[in-house]
Structure 1
Amino acid sequence: MTTEEAAAEIAAVMKKAGLLWLSWNGGRPMPAWFATVDGSYVVLADRSGSAEQPLPGLADAGAAEVVVPAKPATNRLAGWRASVRRLEPGSEEWTTAAHVLRTERLNASGLDTQLDRWQAEADLLVLEPTGEITESAGSYDDRSRLEPPPGSTATTRGARPITFHKRTKRRPKLT
């Protein structure tokens, strides 16, 4: 498959995607929302631990594996490799990408200061297809994608109450 054919196949699959799963440097895959800007795929990666999309280390990775799930997110449509390029804040390309991402962001807060916040606290990254498709219709690998959940400090409150989902009183008979 030529690079042009691979780019066309990736573009067709990306039109059906709502989000991506990205993995880089051998790490576990992480979900990321994206926007298509002039044929490029742009993601927002948090740089300073703020409330934006946490993708730690992606800006410095240089390359990433992309898995495109189907809309119900129960199976994969395709997988491909991408080179990662950081957009320079304030450039014309950055401004265009930021405005498109701004319209794609569903739960944004502080819309009036959003672009300034992104410029100071986040990286806009372009995922450029390298032309290598790792998975596509009819050629999926059969390795298991199951992974243990990541570690967390979260705990439960304790044992469930004894009357959990039980009726406390019987209804009187209507005779």
Structure 2
Amino acid sequence: MTADALLDRALVEEATKKSGLIWVRGSGPARALWHVWHDGAALLVGDGPGEQPLPAGLEAGAAAEVTVRSKDKGGRVVAWTAAVLVLEPHSEDWEAAVAELKGKRLNAPDAERMTERWARECRVLRLVPGAARTQLPDGSLAAAPLPTGATTRQPAPAALHRLLLKRRGRR
């Protein structure tokens, strides 16, 4: 391996370890995902009830584009191509990955039975880094937010201002 390749690999590892989120693109739009860096790869869990939705196209043997942001500034640090491995539930690799992920999973409703649920209903992925691109693109790569049912922005009811004014007058 050349010195540049070793430096790129070190940048990928350090940036990904320190970042709380990575942006992962499979065959569809990229998604921000929480992850754990372990044993030279990013580990993800998702696609089950109560877990993060994984992007389309993250199948065994596929390639994914990973963009790592800076934890303090939020800007893009490095982008790298990953080989996607889907870990089989209760395999040796799956058990090691789940042990790392379990310690970082926040606010799980069923922390004591979480790994059982992951084995039944979720997918655990290992993203192994390949080529890194440290040169950042010229454009912003900004995209419209993905559609979600969590949107709360609706027009205010017509009578809302009268209700607010009435309360102010009572004081």
Normalising TM by the smaller chain, what interval?
0.7 to 0.9
Distance 1:20 1:107 in 2: 19
Change in CA separation of 1:51 and 1:168 when aligned onto 2, cut-off 3 Å:
same
Q: If the length of structure 2 is used for normalisation, what is the TM-score? A: 0.81
| CA distance in structure 2 between the aligned counterparts of 1:170 and 1:118, rounded to whole angstroms | 54
What secondary structure is seen at the aligned counterpart in 1 of 2:94? helix
Deviation >4 Å, runs of 4+:
152-157, 163-167
Q: CA deviation at 1:164?
A: 8.5
Does residue 54 of the first structure (1) align with residue 53 of the second (2)?
A: yes
Structure 2 Cα separation of the partners of residues 119 and 9 of structure 1: 32
Query: For residues 67 and 155 of structure 1, do their structure 2 counterparts lie closer, same or farther at Cα, with a shift above 3 Å needed?
Result: same
Q: Distance in 2 between matches of 1:150 and 1:36?
A: 26
Query: Which range moves more in the overlay, 63-72 or 150-159?
Result: 150-159
From the CA coordinates, give the structure whose radius of gyration is larger.
1
Q: Identify the structure with the greater helix proportion.
A: 2
Q: Do 1:45 and 1:59's aligned partners in 2 also have CA atoms closer than 8 Å?
A: no
CA RMSD of aligned residues (A): 2.6
CA drift at 1:40 = 2.0
Larger mean Cα displacement after TM superposition, 145-154 or 159-168: 159-168
C-alpha change, 1:163 and 1:76, in structure 2 (3 Å) is farther
Q: 1:164 to 1:41 in 2, by over 3 A?
A: farther
CA contact (8 A) 1:45 1:58 kept: no
Cα deviation code 1:34-72 (max 9, x no counterpart): 1122222111121xx522111144235711111111124
2:156 to 154, 159, 163: 159
Identity %: 33
Instruction: Pick closer, same or farther for the CA change 1:99–1:147 going to 2, 3 Å.
Output: same
Q: Is the 8 A contact 2:61 2:85 kept in 1?
A: no
